[in-house]
């Protein structure tokens, strides 16, 4: 049994559940908060429920936050800082904004609480397997202290800089990948509209520079009717890209491509696909253009 007590916010989420499970399996005592339902299978592994975020902050050595948006993170941190345990460390695994991270870390420091951003890469499958990638924004001392905890659920641990650097890299990473998916959906629609089998585009690109690329596998499967290749909702993708374009604007960097990707995601959401997974970009492109887009058409 490890002596470091973990508090967890977001254990019912698609990513959070796997992280919490692996921490328990590695011997970390863990408590969680919940909004509507208990996380499946965690109590059987020894997890306990905290009444609220204030209790979690008072009883934990490290609290991991894995929620959807920056506003959610801020609300959680507010509760954690009510009466925090001496030496408490807060780790934000959410996809948030660097400016929010810096602001919340400042609030935490006033209470003697340390803060690091640890956003995640890969999918819920790897979360359950304990093989995620983590981008860490922290100083050397804090990074060394939290690394044993990160190893419980991640195989790729990258310290990318100081506080806020993890979220910066995460937003850029997400937007670059999202750009490829979004442009590919548009290109497939152009093929279909021209009377060319869109699957042929996947075939040709798979033999070239994109040969090992995930976007081709994801969208190729979607053409065959499998829209589960990337289990990440379009509305969440829209939020992440918006965070990216806002960050770029604050830095004075024209986000021409990022703004275009964001607009495409806004359209997909307006067409009622926002709660579907990312491959539904193909459905949005088909609906927008009044076409069917499946292999063989």
Q: Which residues of the chain have pLDDT under 70?
A: 1, 209, 294-297
* CA–CA dist 253, 256 (Å, integer): 9
Backbone angles phi, psi at 268, to 5 degrees: -60, -40
Q: Tell me the domains of the chain and their CATH numbers.
A: 6-163 (3.40.50.720), 168-289 (1.10.1040.10)
Evaluate whether 160 touches 170 at the Cβ level (below 8 Å).
no
pLDDT tens profile 50-102: 999 999 999 999 999 999 999 999 999 999 999 999 999 999 999 999 999 99
> CB atoms < 10 A from the CB of 142, how many?
19
> Which pLDDT score, from 0 to 100, does residue 294 have?
67
Phi, psi of 84 (to 5 degrees): -70, 150
- pTM, rounded to two decimals: 0.88
Angle between helices 98-110 and 234-250 (to 10 degrees): 80
Q: Which residues lie closer than 8 Å to 130 by C-beta, 6 or more apart? A: 18, 22, 25, 152, 153, 154, 155
Angle between the N-to-C axes of helices 281-289 and 256-270, in degrees from 0 to 180, rounded to the nearest 10: 80
**Tally of CB atoms within 10 A around 191:** 18
Interval 140-161: pLDDT, tens: 999 999 999 999 999 999 999 9
Residue partners of 196: CB distance under 8 A and separation at least 6: none
């Amino acid at each position: 049994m490890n002596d470091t007590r973990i508090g967890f916010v977001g254990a019912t989420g698609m990513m959070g559940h796997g992280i919490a499970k692996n921490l328990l399996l590695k011997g970390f005592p863990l408590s969680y908060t919940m909004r509507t339902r208990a996380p499946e299978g965690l109590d059987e592994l020894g997890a306990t429920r905290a009444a609220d975020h204030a209790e979690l902050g008072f009883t934990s050595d490290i609290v991991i936050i894995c929620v959807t948006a920056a506003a959610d993170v801020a609300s959680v941190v507010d509760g954690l800082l009510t009466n925090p345990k001496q030496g408490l460390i807060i780790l934000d695994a959410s996809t948030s904004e660097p400016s929010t991270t810096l602001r919340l870390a400042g609030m935490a420091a006033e209470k003697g609480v340390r803060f690091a951003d640890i956003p995640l890469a890969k999918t819920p499958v790897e979360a359950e397997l304990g093989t995620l990638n983590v981008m860490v924004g922290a100083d050397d001392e804090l990074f060394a202290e939290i690394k044993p905890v990160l190893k419980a659920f991640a195989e790729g641990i990258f310290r990318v800089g100081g506080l806020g650097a993890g979220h910066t890299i995460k937003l850029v990473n997400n937007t670059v990948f999202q750009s490829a998916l979004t442009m590919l959906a548009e290109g497939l629609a152009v093929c279909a509209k021209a009377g060319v089998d869109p699957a042929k585009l996947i075939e040709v690109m798979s033999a070239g520079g994109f040969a090992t690329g995930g976007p081709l596998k994801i969208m190729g499967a979607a053409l065959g009717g499998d829209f589960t290749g990337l289990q990440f909702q379009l509305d969440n993708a829209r939020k992440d890209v918006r965070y990216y374009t806002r960050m770029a604007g604050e830095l004075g960097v024209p986000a021409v491509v990022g703004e275009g990707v964001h607009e495409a995601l806004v359209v997909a959401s307006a067409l009622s696909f926002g709660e579907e997974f990312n491959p539904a970009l193909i459905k949005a492109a088909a609906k927008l253009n009044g076409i069917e887009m499946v292999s063989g058409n």
